Amino acid sequence: MPGLHLNHHVSWDDLLELCYVYEDPGIKLPVCECDRIHASDKKVQHQIKNRKYLDDKLCSAEDCKIVGEKVFRKTEKRKLVIPDNVMWEIRDDSDKPKAVRFAQQFSSAIKEFAETERKKIKERNIFEPKEDVNKYCEEIWKKLNETMTAEELEGSRIWHSCWCNLFTVLMEKGDSKTLLSMPNETIEEDNPETWGYMGSMKHSNQHLGDFLMHDCDGQTFLYGCRKYLTDEVYMKDFDAMKELCKKCFQFLYFLEMLGNEVESENTISKNLF
């Protein structure tokens, strides 16, 4: 699928394949060594009785042995449907090889980009003293407010007991220098793996987790990307879609980078699929 983000790192065709379904669900029948239907069983004979399209797929050999099962369909036509549970299909332990390959490729890409981003900052200039980190975060937020557009500011809120919104905006802006200036304790406290649906839901304020992470379409946790969306049309154009995909992926590999920095056992590349 040329033109899509990460096209040289992952096979989007593998992902698309999971969204295709056959118009005819088909019927699973026993097959012989010749790859034809073994119809000596009465149950099978009953199943194929009114399926005339299977007449030329029957095995006529008497000594042919059953070696397995195969799905037979009247038509091989498929249609594109995005299932509600498509993410459940994308696992590195899936029984679908293409799903496994996509999960492995995408996780590897996250790791690679996270390592590259970290190398841009040779040494961390960590804020001290740690007791004043809230004041430090407030100053950063004030500076961001001066540069953020009305669309970016819309709906963005700060809870002073948790700076995950600030982390979100910094990750979207690609400000790894400021993120890495945070003490490890602050990164661990506001690590997005604890925010909500994309993580382990350990955060004490579950409403905050829901607000930031439930709608993973840029309408909540990626404030700067709201300009690519409208009220009635999900995506304005292909270029907007690519930019949003780019920002979403940047968000993920920044999570990976921060997780690696604090030596977390639950980095995004290990838990995304």
Considering the domain architecture, whether residues 195 and 249 belong to the same structural domain is answered as yes
Q: Is the separation of the CB atoms in 102 and 111 below 8 Å?
A: no
Q: Is residue 140 part of a domain?
A: yes
Q: Is residue 25 part of a domain?
A: yes
Q: Is residue 8 part of a domain?
A: no
Which strand (E) or helix (H) includes residue 80? Answer: strand 78-80
Mean pLDDT of 224-233: 63
Considering the domain architecture, whether residues 64 and 126 belong to the same structural domain is answered as no
* pLDDT at res. 206: 42
Range of the domain at 46: 20-81
Mean pLDDT of the chain, nearest integer: 77
* pLDDT at res. 254: 93
Residue 9: name the closest of 115, 127, 119, 107 by CA. Answer: 107
Question: Is the peptide bond prior to 129 cis by the omega test (within 30 degrees of 0)?
Answer: yes
C-alpha to C-alpha distances, 14 to 20, 36, 54, 134, 252, nearest whole angstrom: 11, 29, 30, 45, 20
Query: How many Cβ atoms are within 10 Å of 212's Cβ, its own excluded?
Result: 23
Mean pLDDT of 112-117: 95
Q: Is residue 105 part of a domain?
A: no
Q: Is residue 14 part of a domain?
A: no
Considering the domain architecture, whether residues 134 and 249 belong to the same structural domain is answered as yes
Distance CA(95)–CA(71), nearest Å, equals 16
Distance CA(45)–CA(40), nearest Å, equals 7
Angle of helix 133-147 versus helix 164-173 axis, rounded to 10: 50
Residue 68: name the closest of 26, 27, 95, 33 by CA. Answer: 33
Convert the pLDDT of each residue in 85-101 to its tens digit: 666 666 655 667 888 88
Considering the domain architecture, whether residues 25 and 129 belong to the same structural domain is answered as no
Instruction: Write out the two tokens for 199.
Output: 């993580």
Considering the domain architecture, whether residues 155 and 224 belong to the same structural domain is answered as yes
Residue 267: name the closest of 183, 165, 179, 191 by CA. Answer: 191
Considering the domain architecture, whether residues 131 and 251 belong to the same structural domain is answered as yes
* Unique residue bearing structure tokens 């004979």: 45
Q: Would you place residue 204 in the very low, low, confident or very high pLDDT band (cuts 50, 70, 90)? A: very low
Cα radius of gyration (the chain): 25
pTM of the model: 0.69
Q: Is the separation of the CB atoms in 171 and 256 below 8 Å?
A: no
- Number of separate domains in the chain: 2
- Which residues does 144 contact at the CB level (< 8 Å), separation at least 6? 166, 169, 170, 173
What's the sign of the alpha-carbon dihedral 212, 216, 219, 224? positive
Q: Is residue 98 part of a domain?
A: no
**Cα 151 from chain centre:** 25
Distance CA(92)–CA(270), nearest Å, equals 10
Query: How many Cβ atoms are within 10 Å of 177's Cβ, its own excluded?
Result: 12
Q: Is residue 101 part of a domain?
A: no
Considering the domain architecture, whether residues 176 and 75 belong to the same structural domain is answered as no
Residue 257: name the closest of 165, 142, 195, 178 by CA. Answer: 178
* pLDDT at res. 221: 53
* pLDDT at res. 10: 87
Q: Bigger pLDDT: 173 or 238?
A: 173
* pLDDT at res. 238: 75
Convert the pLDDT of each residue in 14-69 to its tens digit: 888 878 888 999 999 999 999 999 988 899 999 999 999 999 999 988 788 899 99
Considering the domain architecture, whether residues 141 and 238 belong to the same structural domain is answered as yes
Q: Is residue 70 part of a domain?
A: yes
According to DSSP, residue 94 is labeled: -
